[in-house]
Amino acid sequence: MIRKLTTLSLKHTTLALLLTGSLAAASLPSGMVQAAGEAVYISSASYFTISQAALSSSSLQFAVSLHNGDQNAIDFNQYGVRVTDTAGHSFTAKLSEKKSASVLPGQEASFRFYANLAEGESADQLKIDVFRWDAGQADFMKHLGQLPVSSALGEGQVTVPEEIINLRTLDSTLANDASLAFQLGQSVRVSENGKWYLYTQVSAKNLGSSSVKLPTGLQLRLVDASGLTYTSSIANGSGTSFLPGESDTLTLKTAISKQMTLSGASLEFYYMNQSEDVTLGTMSLNTSLQTTALDTKQVYSGQQDGEQMTVKADTAQYSIQADGVHVQTVVTLSNDGDASAAVPSFIASYQVGDSGTSLSAADNTVRPAFLAAKETTTYYFNAILPSGTDPNAAQLVLWEKTAAAASSGSEGSSGSANSASSASGTASTTTAASESATASASGGSTGQMPVAVFLLKGASEAKSGFATAASYLLGDKLTFNNNASVNKNVDVSLVELHAHENDDLGYKTAIAKYKMTNNGTSTIALPELQNELLDSSGNSYTGTRQSSVTTQLTPGSSYVVSYSYLLPNRKTEDDEAFALNIFDDKSVSEGKVSLGTYQVALQKEDDSDTINLYPFTMKVNNDSISWLYNNGSYSYQLNLDLDITHEDQVIIDSNFSTIEFDMVDSLGRIVGTQSSTLVGTGKLTSGMQKIVVTGLKNEQVDSGVVVNMYEVINTPNGTAKRLIKQFH
């Protein structure tokens, strides 16, 4: 039968017993002094109550207390409990601890149970059905009454999305209130070294009044829908001290078979009591399993309390080439909060199919230690997938580098839980799962934790850089997509792009000059731009930087760096148009990251008397050729009247290009050479200049001699020459 308990004070209880003369004989349970609420009675003095109920999405934990007010011991094995709902469904309740089933006269004992429920059950739908085992009944149960679950939830609490575990069950030395509330975070399925693992994040909140660590006896396992179990290890956080009222995150790692179906799987907490395992609680993984689509924000799980960091895979592009499928995924980390947040160290891997194939990708760009509020930083992850791979079916796993973790606490021996007999038939802890084959996860230390798994469905095929290049005007600032590759205080602009045909060598040389300006207040390293020219057919011509450059750029100063490109010696109008692609191939583990692509064209050479040699302008006012003869030796003299202007105030040093004068006879042979400079000793200046070539033989004197004037730049690939003027 079920009755409402009235609240009795110690004074009233004692007075009533004295009046009846039965104080010595009527030993009531001490808990009855403060009992209030509903109870199921088995006699006038003994009853059951429910307390400490915790309801998650798929399980219920609760405590049933037996108050023995009679004069004889009560064996709890004679009774049982189960969970029922208003629709008539019933769910088996299992004991989550081992203790004596005998409750002595005048005493009370509490027994912890848990039950797996159907999804969507609410507290007001659930009741605890209390019964006595009775072989004379059709269902072997004599039903005594029901206790509403809602009455045992915490005040103001409708549901508790955690599994609450009393740690004293595992370690009797802990305080009575030592307990942790576990809540599931995300679970991701990833491949490592050809094997599949499930990583699960679990938040644990200390509900007690003192700091605690996970007892060594606490173990975890994954149970699939078929009842197979897979042992989990704590990959990160096993040594964490949980402060009173505070939460921290654990990361579990479970080795799983590649054919395992995760639908219907659950995470189970248990401990070993001698040779038996005792389940403490279970949580369904159905809502925990996560993958994230492209262009979808996900909360970054590794952040500190109060931070609001998110990660997103913005785009994924691929190109099919002879060596495989080249793929690049752009990931953005955003600080959506109002305070600075630490920037994690991310790496990535591409996983393809169920074979466990995993290809690593890294972005090693140097970033600041903190990200200011509302700021973002971008990562580029490149890889070459096997030929024939559908990139839309691949996944990108984003990992965070972490310090090596200690060995898992879940792999230790059981704690000091009390040994006891079975309490009731419904309290058996033997399950089909515990009798099945068990797969063990790899334990030990780890240096990375998964953050997210991004689905690459929707990846697009990369378009030609020539077709997508932005309009560009020579001399304008080049705007880069990824400012992390070039110091934000440096402005870069293309100021010249000329070509010279080398008829004898079968190619022509393009020469580009880049102006770099330090707008900051401190000296910085001169950027080393990686760049290439792309033609309309998709061919790429890599730029080679001049052999010697300055290493540092002082505040407020500009410097000119030249690059050369070896181009095919073709002569169509289309061959004059290119896309200039500035890229970074140092910070990524594979391929390159485009910082920007711009429409450019080779500058036309004209026969003007004004020559542009950035940052100089040279005007030839007059020129003449004369022959000299002295004691049987001939000399050639080019007389020039020049105006030379330093147009732009940029740093000019000994690494700047030189001027070369080649004397060529009527047969196209170089019969003499003379070099000069625009800086330093012997430089060309405004006014009359004499360029003399001596030591000519008699037969080399030719009326058809011309003088070619070149700009010469030294590169690691040799000397690059640009024809700038010809004198007859």
Give the C-alpha separation, 77 to 95, whole Å: 12
Q: pLDDT at position 27, please? A: 34
Q: Are 693 and 633 in contact (CB under 8 A)?
A: no
Q: Three-state SS string across 414-449, please?
A: CCECCCCCCCCHHHCCCCCCCCCCEEECCCCCCCEE
Give 540's strand partners: 534
Q: Three-state SS string across 572-637, please?
A: CHHHHEEEEEEEECCCECCCCEEEEEEEEECCCCCCCCEEEECCEEEEEEEEEEEEEEECCEEEEE
Give 94's strand partners: 114
Alpha helices in 271-399 (DSSP H): none
Give the C-alpha separation, 400 to 48, whole Å: 50
Tell which CATH architecture fits domain 470-601: Sandwich (2.60)
Q: Are 224 and 391 in contact (CB under 8 A)?
A: no
Give the C-alpha separation, 451 to 367, whole Å: 19
Give 83's strand partners: 91, 128
Q: What is the pTM of this model?
A: 0.69
Q: Cis (ω within 30 of 0) for the bond into 716? A: no
Give the C-alpha separation, 655 to 653, whole Å: 5
- State the maximum Cα–Cα separation within the chain, in Å, rounded to a whole number: 153
What are the CB-based long-range contacts (under 8 Å, 24+) for 7-15?
7/34, 7/35, 7/36, 8/32, 8/33, 8/35, 9/33
Q: Are 8 and 39 in contact (CB under 8 A)?
A: no
Q: pLDDT at position 575, please? A: 67
Token pair belonging to 76: 């709890």
Domain 610-727: top CATH class: mainly beta
Sign of CA dihedral 186, 190, 193, 196: positive
Residue with tokens 């990200």: 371
DSSP 347: E
Give every residue of the chain whose pLDDT is below 70, as ranges: 1-37, 56-58, 96-98, 154-162, 403-446, 483-484, 501-506, 570-575, 695-703
Domain span(s) for CATH 2.60.40.1240 in the chain: 39-151, 162-284, 470-601
Give the C-alpha separation, 638 to 698, whole Å: 19
Sign of CA dihedral 13, 14, 15, 19: positive
Q: pLDDT at position 53, please? A: 84
Q: pLDDT at position 699, please? A: 59
The verdict on domain 39-151 having CATH code 3.30.1330.10 is no
Residue with tokens 């609450």: 164
Q: Are 618 and 611 in contact (CB under 8 A)?
A: yes
Q: pLDDT at position 700, please? A: 61
Select the CATH number that applies to the domain covering 292-402+450-455 from these four: 3.90.1690, 2.60.40, 2.30.30, 2.40.50.
2.60.40
Give 64's strand partners: 50, 111
Domain 162-284: top CATH class: mainly beta
Helix or strand or coil: residue 209?
Answer: coil
Token pair belonging to 509: 């040389």
Token pair belonging to 455: 């689905």
